Each structure stands twice: as C-alpha cells, then as structure tokens.
C-alpha cells in the first residue's frame, strides 16, 4: 500500500505531465485531474485534523 505522500506526489506528477502533454491547464481532462488532486488534499488534511483514538478534550469556560 502506498503512503498518502506517495499518492499525493503521484497525482501531482500526473497532473503536470498531462497538462504539459495537452499544452493547457484549462483542458477539461486536466481540470478533472486537478479536482481529483484537490479532493485528495482536502481528505488528507481532514484526516490530519481528526483527534487520535484516546484523545480527550475538555472544554474550558472563558470569562
């Protein structure tokens, strides 16, 4: 299984390679690849923000 970083780099490299081949970053295929990469980045960021198992958060009052 690949790491998240490896998949991220693979998607990024694919995006750049295809954009250079097509000659445009606005081509529909390139935009789809870019959106896929964006979604993967957001998913990775969300997973990094989730507390780890056993994490305890106690809300404190302010005032």
> Where are the domains positioned within the chain?
4-49
Query: Could you give the dihedral angle defined by the CA atoms of residues 9, 12, 18 and 22, in that order, rounded to the nearest 10 degrees?
Result: -160
Question: Model's pTM, two decimal places?
Answer: 0.68
Per-residue pLDDT of the chain (63 residues; tens, 9 = 90+): 568 888 999 999 999 999 999 999 899 999 999 999 999 999 988 888 876 666 666 666 665
- DSSP H or E run through 5: helix 4-22
If we measure between CA atoms, which residue out of 30, 43, 37 comes closest to residue 11? 37
């Amino acid at each position: 299984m690949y790491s998240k970083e490896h998949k991220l780099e693979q998607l990024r490299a694919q995006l750049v390679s295809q954009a250079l081949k097509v000659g445009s970053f606005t081509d529909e295929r390139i935009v789809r690849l870019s959106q896929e990469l964006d979604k993967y980045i957001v998913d990775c960021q969300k997973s990094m923000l989730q507390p780890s198992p056993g994490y305890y958060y106690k809300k404190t009052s302010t005032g």
